[in-house]
């Protein structure tokens, strides 16, 4: 698979026209901040926390593609809390997700396909494995968001 094909899959996971069903943008488009901030069960993540988590990992992958060595994240960075849960803060979070996805899609398109089989610095897997993984990660969490929306 080429980097252009991988970028296309990630873009579909966010923007839509995906085979599986609603993409992240579609799932989040009509979601009010109060619903995004609602904790479904004690100890479970809110939709808002999931969105921040997705953005964070898209950013990490983008930084890894640029050559930065990031082995892992501390829990507070892996699952950041929203803090302010106003409608304006929710719009800012959604804008952050759009920007992180767009930046990562562009970075994947620019990444040399000949490097896909190289090992990610500090990891045991290849860049290709990581890029497929970030798309799978986004879709996994999109499914969680769809279920949380339905339950609420």
Look-up: residue for tokens 């799978």?
136
Domain segments of the chain: what residues? 3-151
**pTM for the complete prediction?**
0.95
CATH of the structural domain 3-151, one choice from 3.40.50.300, 3.30.230.80, 3.90.1300.10, 1.20.120.450: 1.20.120.450
pLDDT at 78 over 80: yes
Per-residue pLDDT tens for 115-137?
999 999 999 999 999 999 999 99
């Amino acid at each position: 698979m080429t980097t252009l094909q991988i970028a296309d899959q990630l873009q579909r996971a966010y923007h839509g026209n995906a085979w599986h069903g609603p993409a992240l943008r579609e799932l989040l488009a009509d979601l009010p901040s109060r619903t995004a901030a609602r904790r479904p069960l004690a100890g479970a993540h809110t939709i808002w926390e999931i969105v921040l988590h997705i953005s964070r990992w898209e950013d990490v992958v983008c930084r890894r593609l640029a050559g930065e060595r990031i082995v892992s994240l501390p829990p507070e960075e892996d699952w950041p809390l929203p803090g302010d849960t106003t409608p304006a803060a929710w719009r800012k979070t959604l804008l952050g997700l759009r920007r992180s996805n767009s930046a990562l899609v562009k970075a994947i398109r620019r990444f040399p396909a000949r490097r896909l089989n190289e090992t990610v610095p500090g990891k045991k897997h290849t860049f290709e494995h990581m890029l497929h993984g970030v798309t799978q990660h986004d879709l996994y969490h999109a499914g969680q968001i769809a279920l949380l929306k339905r339950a609420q």
